[in-house]
Structure 1
Amino acid sequence: MRIQFTALFLVASLFCSAQQKDLTTMLYDTYETYKETTLNKRRIKHFDLYPLIEKYRENDKFKVSRVGSSIEGRPLSLISIGEGETNVFLWSQMHGDEPTATQAIFDIFNLFNSPDFETEKQEILANCTLHFLPMLNPDGAEVFRRRNRLGIDINRDALRLQSPEGQTLKRVRDSLDADFGFNLHDQSTYYNAERTGKPATISYLAPAYNYEKDINEKRGNAMKVIVFMNNIIQKYAQGQVGRYNDDFEPRAFGDNIQKWGTSTILIESGGYLGDVEKQEIRKLNYVSILSAIYSIATENYKEIALEEYEKIPENDRKLFDLKIENATYPLLGKDYILDIGMNRLEVDKEEHNDFWHSSRILDQGDLSTYYGYETLDATGYTITPGKVYPDLVSSFSALAAMDIKFLLKSGYTYVRVVNIPKENLSSPFPIHVIGKKYEVPEFLVEVGLNPTFILKKGDNITHAVINGFLIDLNSDKKTNFKNAMIYR
């Protein structure tokens, strides 16, 4: 009997997978048609969303309601579509600096407002009513920070409910008595899938609703939908999915919404090589969320085995932007072998609409269990301090006319510039700019310091590390360099 059931399950799963594969492939391949082009970077603000929300307020397909306000008075809007009995509630940007899913939500709106995918959309909207609360923390988004104007983490306010944003989330969830909830976040780009060098591009969690981590039907359904979504992501980012630890957090909204009877799915958008603005990850959100909603509408997720959830690798945090392995580091007359892990930290500009990098060495020593988005095996290479170019350069325009690569090959990593524009916060050139009187500190490779040095092989300078960016001086390939530093 068990063999017969297993065979039937496999047939059903294969049928659903084939059916879903066609839909997800079409969603992925046609994505650019529906991408909301006005939202093309991470640092979006409420005023970027306002005209889009107003457009849907005037559209008969959608229902738009103001359901609350932030501390600073920005409106919180619920956008609904569909007439089915199953209520699916999706909220995003509870943390102001986590906007990837907010962008994907407006891509999803564009699809529902189009004449395409009519069969699939009719099936979704006949069986489900979808409710979206994008940008729950608009005050945090305004200054691109995690916390709200009160300075609290809204995701730890489910019990006390001190924040108006948290009060709104609770009130909406209760009024809908939502069957499914999608809790949409961003996570650090430095998470990796356990014991691999692959970033956790998407991470999932079906939060526990008690300390015992019991699995009831509601939580089990969330786990099944996550398995379904994981199978989709594997097609486009193989091995780049993680699973969060499910220890119960009694203050967290996800855990409590699960406890209150909504099958809750946490989605965290992490890192993807070369995707600084997370636009590829946004696309993966769009495809996987829509596919999951379709699975809920058709109820084919019910056939998925619960034990598949535990097979998703756990999240780990062992990624660096750049890892240098096995480099020789001379110190006090002796040579040592070092691995160096460094990250490019973002520094917001004043208007919180762009950023520059100020990099740091995060760790050094034996980093053999860590990984890098970019890794150089520096066996046989020697770390060497960079020098200050001996001549004064009159201006940025004069520096732009110089052969920077030649300077780096000559061992120079700093250039003195007489007139440094006040508005310039960082150097656009792959070399540090210093003022006339600035004294470069004694060179050290040390945790917390800016990673800037030369790599030699024998007597030949082969690479430069400038502000945590690796520059291969023997290659003409375009690099991912963004900026060096200015020291006035």
Structure 2
Amino acid sequence: MKSFLKLILLFVTLSAASQTNDFTSKIYETYDTYKETTLEKRRIKHQDIQPLINTLKNNPKFTVKKVGQSIEGRDLSLISIGSGKTNVFLWSQMHGDEPTATQAIFDIFNLLTSKDFSKEKETILKRVTLHFLPMLNPDGAEKYTRRNTLGIDINRDALRLQSLEGQTLKRVRDSLNADFGFNLHDQNIYYNAERTNKPATISYLAPAYNYEKDINQVRGDAMKIIIFMNNIIQKYAPGQVGRYNDAFEPRAFGDNIQKWGTSTILIESGGYKNDVEKQEIRKLNYVSILSAIYTIANGQYKNIPIDDYENIPRNDSKLFDLKIEGATYNLLGKPYKIDIGVKRYEVDNANHSDFYNVGRIADLGDLSTFYGYNTFNAEGYTIVEGKVYSEVFDSVSGISNLDVFKLLKSGYTYIQMEKLPESTLEASEPIHLVKIGQQLPEFRLRPGINPTFLLQKDGINEYAVINGFLIDLNAKNSRLKNALIYR
């Protein structure tokens, strides 16, 4: 009899696994059908999501409640759907500059309001009640900054509860007594999966609830969900999953929500090559979160052994935007072999709707244990200082007919301007603009300087590095966002 029951259990488990895998594949393949196209850029604001929330208010499947306000008076909404006994609570953008999962939540709403996947949605909504609190920190989102208007990190306010946003999160969690919680964040794009050149595109954590990092059923169930989600991401971004540091932080919401009895899954959206606006990562959030909700609904996660949790590589921080390997650098009459690691930082415009890049040398020397989103083997190339072009131009429009690549090939990385644009610090062409007669600092490589130079081979300039972007001067291509204007 026991053997018969085991066979039945095995059959049910395999059947649930097959259904979940099929669901995952289909929602990945059809993602563009449900993607919320009004949220294409990372710098989304409270006003951008309000029309979408208002539409949900008119849908009888959803319950939309105002559950609080930010310090500056922006409404915080809880959006619920389903009638199941298991409560799943998802909150996003606790940090204002971490919007990837907020976008994915609205993609999930589009699928839930569609007529598609009726069987899977019936399973979910009869067994689970979903509660979403998107954009917990709308004041921070307004300025695309991590902290709230009070200047604090909401994710370090679980004990004192001095922020209105933190008070709302605690009150909602307690009122729901949620079984599962998804704590949705973005992380630094320079994290990699430990000992690999793969970015940690998605990182997970089942937060510890004490200093000893004990594992009870609550935390164990979170680990099982993470193992399940990791297996999904491996299909679409193999090797690009990391495991966040699980040192106990007594002030953090994730650690405390785990402690309060909600199985808490931290999801951090990192970097993905050539995905500046994190739209591919948004898709991975959508697929993995929906699949996790489905496995919670059908109970498949319960049979996952938690031993696999420790097999997920830890997060490391060894990535650069550009890594140049083995270049020759002549200094004081002697040649040296160096690697250069470049990071490109984002500087927001006045209304925080877009940004320009400022490149910086983050490190140089022996960087053999580091990696780059873009890695260039510069063996045989010599780093050469760029020159200032002698001709002076009246305005930016005056250089529109210049062959900039020809200038770069000739060794010029700066153009002199009689009058520089007043309202901007970035240049659209791959060459810097300087005021006529401006003295540039001595060219000497060191951390912190803007990476602008030429890579010369056999006396010929074959590549230019402008503002940290590598430009192939023969192919005349690059992924340069902007050069700089020096005043």
Q: TM-score under structure 2 normalisation? A: 0.97
- What percentage of aligned pairs have identical amino acids? 67
Report what 2:331 is aligned to.
331
Q: CA distance change for structure 1 residues 10 and 367 in 2, over 3 Å: closer, same or farther?
A: farther
What pairs up with 1:366-445 in 2 under 5 angstroms? 366-445=366-445
Does residue 124 of structure 1 match 2:124?
A: yes
Cα distance in structure 2, aligned partners of 1:432 and 1:294:
52
Q: CA distance change for structure 1 residues 8 and 240 in 2, over 3 Å: closer, same or farther?
A: farther
Cα distance in structure 2, aligned partners of 1:45 and 1:87:
28
1:107, distance to aligned residue in structure 2 (A): 0.5
What SS does the corresponding residue of 2:292 show, helix, strand or coil? helix
Q: Which consecutive residues of structure 1, in runs of 5 or more, have no partner in the other structure?
A: none
Contact kept, 8 Å, 2:147 with 2:154, in 1: the verdict is yes
Cα distance in structure 2, aligned partners of 1:307 and 1:193:
19
What SS does the corresponding residue of 2:444 show, helix, strand or coil? coil
What SS does the corresponding residue of 2:372 show, helix, strand or coil? strand
Q: CA distance change for structure 1 residues 387 and 213 in 2, over 3 Å: closer, same or farther?
A: same
Partner amino acid, structure 1, of 2:364: Q
> Which piece of structure 1 moves more, 58-67 or 436-445?
436-445
1:96, distance to aligned residue in structure 2 (A): 0.2
Contact kept, 8 Å, 2:454 with 2:461, in 1: the verdict is yes
1:395, distance to aligned residue in structure 2 (A): 1.9
Contact kept, 8 Å, 1:9 with 1:303, in 2: the verdict is no
Report what 1:208 is aligned to.
208
Report what 2:99 is aligned to.
99
Report what 1:183 is aligned to.
183
Partner amino acid, structure 2, of 1:372: G
Report what 2:42 is aligned to.
42
Cα distance in structure 1, aligned partners of 2:94 and 2:410:
49
Cα distance in structure 1, aligned partners of 2:33 and 2:155:
34
1:235, distance to aligned residue in structure 2 (A): 0.6
1:12, distance to aligned residue in structure 2 (A): 6.8
Does residue 364 of structure 1 match 2:360?
A: no
Cα distance in structure 1, aligned partners of 2:9 and 2:326:
50
Contact kept, 8 Å, 1:96 with 1:146, in 2: the verdict is yes
1:21, distance to aligned residue in structure 2 (A): 2.0
1:429, distance to aligned residue in structure 2 (A): 0.6
1:443, distance to aligned residue in structure 2 (A): 0.4
Cα distance in structure 2, aligned partners of 1:460 and 1:470:
16
Partner amino acid, structure 1, of 2:372: G
What SS does the corresponding residue of 1:419 show, helix, strand or coil? coil
Does residue 486 of structure 1 match 2:479?
A: no
Give per-residue Cα distances to partners, 1:395-428, cap 9 Å, x unaligned: 2122121000000000000000223221232010
Partner amino acid, structure 2, of 1:390: S
What SS does the corresponding residue of 2:430 show, helix, strand or coil? coil
Cα distance in structure 2, aligned partners of 1:385 and 1:7:
72
Report what 1:70 is aligned to.
70
Cα distance in structure 1, aligned partners of 2:185 and 2:337:
39
Q: CA distance change for structure 1 residues 123 and 435 in 2, over 3 Å: closer, same or farther?
A: same
What SS does the corresponding residue of 2:418 show, helix, strand or coil? strand
Give per-residue Cα distances to partners, 1:360-406, cap 9 Å, x unaligned: 00000110000000000101110000000011122212212100000
Give per-residue Cα distances to partners, 1:218-241, cap 9 Å, x unaligned: 100000000000000011100000
Cα distance in structure 2, aligned partners of 1:16 and 1:121:
14
Report what 2:448 is aligned to.
448
Q: CA distance change for structure 1 residues 213 and 385 in 2, over 3 Å: closer, same or farther?
A: same
1:444, distance to aligned residue in structure 2 (A): 1.0
Contact kept, 8 Å, 2:17 with 2:300, in 1: the verdict is no
Give per-residue Cα distances to partners, 1:57-115, cap 9 Å, x unaligned: 11111000000000000000000000000000000000000000000000000111010
What SS does the corresponding residue of 2:120 show, helix, strand or coil? helix
Contact kept, 8 Å, 2:425 with 2:486, in 1: the verdict is no
Q: CA distance change for structure 1 residues 308 and 12 in 2, over 3 Å: closer, same or farther?
A: farther
Report what 1:31 is aligned to.
31
Partner amino acid, structure 2, of 1:50: Q
Partner amino acid, structure 2, of 1:486: I
Report what 2:152 is aligned to.
152
Cα distance in structure 2, aligned partners of 1:199 and 1:483:
24
Contact kept, 8 Å, 2:340 with 2:365, in 1: the verdict is yes
1:437, distance to aligned residue in structure 2 (A): 3.1
Partner amino acid, structure 2, of 1:41: K
Cα distance in structure 2, aligned partners of 1:485 and 1:15:
58
Report what 1:289 is aligned to.
289
Contact kept, 8 Å, 1:84 with 1:128, in 2: the verdict is yes
Contact kept, 8 Å, 2:201 with 2:241, in 1: the verdict is yes
Report what 1:245 is aligned to.
245
Cα distance in structure 2, aligned partners of 1:46 and 1:138:
6
1:7, distance to aligned residue in structure 2 (A): 10
Q: CA distance change for structure 1 residues 304 and 420 in 2, over 3 Å: closer, same or farther?
A: same
Q: CA RMSD in A?
A: 1.6
> Which piece of structure 1 moves more, 136-145 or 4-13?
4-13
Cα distance in structure 1, aligned partners of 2:17 and 2:412:
57
Report what 1:348 is aligned to.
348
Q: TM-score under structure 1 normalisation? A: 0.97
1:315, distance to aligned residue in structure 2 (A): 0.4
Report what 2:167 is aligned to.
167
Q: CA distance change for structure 1 residues 9 and 142 in 2, over 3 Å: closer, same or farther?
A: same
> Which piece of structure 1 moves more, 389-398 or 253-262?
389-398
Q: Which consecutive residues of structure 2, in runs of 5 or more, have no partner in the other structure?
A: none
Contact kept, 8 Å, 2:16 with 2:298, in 1: the verdict is no
Cα distance in structure 1, aligned partners of 2:429 and 2:46:
33
Contact kept, 8 Å, 2:187 with 2:270, in 1: the verdict is yes
Partner amino acid, structure 1, of 2:356: W
What pairs up with 1:76-87 in 2 under 5 angstroms? 76-87=76-87
What SS does the corresponding residue of 2:28 show, helix, strand or coil? helix
Cα distance in structure 2, aligned partners of 1:475 and 1:267:
39
Contact kept, 8 Å, 1:12 with 1:303, in 2: the verdict is no
Contact kept, 8 Å, 1:13 with 1:304, in 2: the verdict is no
Cα distance in structure 2, aligned partners of 1:439 and 1:193:
43
1:17, distance to aligned residue in structure 2 (A): 4.0
Partner amino acid, structure 2, of 1:106: F
1:188, distance to aligned residue in structure 2 (A): 0.6
Cα distance in structure 2, aligned partners of 1:296 and 1:455:
54
Give per-residue Cα distances to partners, 1:275-326, cap 9 Å, x unaligned: 0000010000000000000000001001111001111000000000000000
Cα distance in structure 2, aligned partners of 1:5 and 1:432:
73
Cα distance in structure 2, aligned partners of 1:402 and 1:289:
50
> Which piece of structure 1 moves more, 478-487 or 320-329?
478-487
Partner amino acid, structure 2, of 1:333: G
